[in-house]
Structure 1
């Protein structure tokens, strides 16, 4: 495996493609979701650029630390891991960032901490604050069939989140607002499998389920800091996304150089649900900012 050293641990990465255009680094979601479901974004290499995929510390092929203190998992940890990766790869002076879900949150944090050399930021299906995420999840859950919502609330109150009835109710929500494809695409299934094998990072930072955002990152927000992002920014989401419009609106309202796009037939994963449209929109944005 190809890895770089970071704080005594290892960050795994993979490079797809090559060419004269500026490379793009892909930041997966979670935290803790791993890179697998982002592999189809490797098609962005068709423009003649390198696409860098990696697993953030704590998941996938990078070092796992299931016994780490919850306070170990910080935004700064992953911002500096990314900075270490791009420096080691020799691309820190000219590259794009694309972050999906939590990855978009991380991309925005990186853009504030390390603006030099960053040509553009693509924020895909991401909240500008976890408080906004929780409010949107509550609204979307309220629109579920009554029996589904009842099952969610009953098992969450009882703490029986492993119950089949609860998992079935979660799948109803996910089929509406996470991925509308049936069957589930293989890259996404691989991501779910690796998260189930080691949920340490996800459960610690996010919480026990998709709706929560109640873990150690529950109070995270970047809203008031967004005007400080100087890189050209693209914000995208799906029309049925659990990252609802009110969740990502602050990015569009507060980042100085920004544009947005909504994919009409997608939920949380437009790159899987509408891959051709996703590659066209994001590819055009990257090409426009390669200089």
Structure 2
């Protein structure tokens, strides 16, 4: 199984409240296999860095990508106050998308990073049409995430964390100096490829161009979480997930073993695969192995 099918069969926008959610679907539902719905990270990123997952459609699984509200092709709302942006908003948006696309009765969720938490949160409600869950590189608890960020920051080259903390204390995280130091962390623990793939660059620049959601819920960077998610945890919900679950992470991932451990230990039917040459984006860093693991899991769902 390789990432070859990238041309969407359909794309458009579905109404959500007074707004619209942009989506694209590669392949068509109704062929006997559930749709794979891809939930991107951030919050405040876009689907772009996950586009190669459309390749799984060659195996008969329709693949749905979408941009969460506030980003990409969906409605941008830069004037909304921070309290507007809640996990419940994005849970409702996901429910709405599944219903509008007519796939709520037969689907699998793949959530990456923040999207993994969102997907697991959705799964804990035991929706009847959900067949399986893939949680990739995701926190279950932002307090744990923040604690692990301290560990990773302390291991950065001499002087880097000091520069980062000086800018964070001064409120100058939008400066070139902060961005340069930030990229040292990102190249170690977010994407180890050099140069960064074009699809990842596209999502990165989308956050730069409209940081509304990312800033409100996360903060100025992956490792300085000061937004509304800083104290959010779904660990108490994980025992309620009732579908087979695949947990994925990279050996050098910012989602460290401590970060992903709750999924492995608290979800009743979960298994964990570590990508030895990857950080936070194994679907880009080790795509061939990633697609093999993903296809094996999806085929396993059919065996019950």
Range of TM-score over shorter length? over 0.9
For 1:71, which of 66, 71, 83 is the aligned residue?
83
Whether the 8 Å CA contact 2:249–2:280 is kept in 1: the answer is yes
Cα distance in 2, alignment partners of residues 151 and 286 from structure 1 = 44
For 1:86, which of 69, 81, 98 is the aligned residue?
98
Aligned residue in 1 for 2:256? 244
For 1:5, which of 15, 33, 36 is the aligned residue?
15
Unaligned runs of 5+ in 2: 1-10
Cα distance in 1, alignment partners of residues 226 and 165 from structure 2 = 15
Whether the 8 Å CA contact 1:13–1:54 is kept in 2: the answer is yes
- CA displacement 1:53-82 (0-9 Å, x = unmatched): 000111110001111122211111111111
The offset of 1:114, in angstroms, is 4.6
Aligned residue in 1 for 2:216? 204
Aligned residue in 1 for 2:136? 124
Aligned residue in 1 for 2:8? none
The offset of 1:21, in angstroms, is 1.7
Whether the 8 Å CA contact 2:110–2:116 is kept in 1: the answer is yes
Q: What is the CA RMSD across the aligned residues, in angstroms? A: 1.1
Aligned residue in 2 for 1:279? 291
For 2:200, which of 188, 192, 200 is the aligned residue?
188
Cα distance in 2, alignment partners of residues 73 and 167 from structure 1 = 25
Whether the 8 Å CA contact 2:125–2:241 is kept in 1: the answer is no
Cα distance in 2, alignment partners of residues 78 and 160 from structure 1 = 29
- CA displacement 1:140-174 (0-9 Å, x = unmatched): 01001112122112211122223322211111110
Aligned residue in 1 for 2:232? 220
Q: How does 1:10-49 map to 2 (within 5 A)?
A: 10-18=20-28, 19-49=31-61
- CA displacement 1:214-233 (0-9 Å, x = unmatched): 20111110111210110111
Aligned pairs, number: 291
Cα distance in 1, alignment partners of residues 208 and 181 from structure 2 = 18
For 1:62, which of 44, 50, 74 is the aligned residue?
74
Aligned residue in 2 for 1:109? 121
Task: Please report the TM-score for the alignment, with normalisation by the length of structure 2.
Answer: 0.93
Task: Please report the TM-score for the alignment, with normalisation by the length of structure 1.
Answer: 0.97
Change (3 A) 1:213 1:53: same
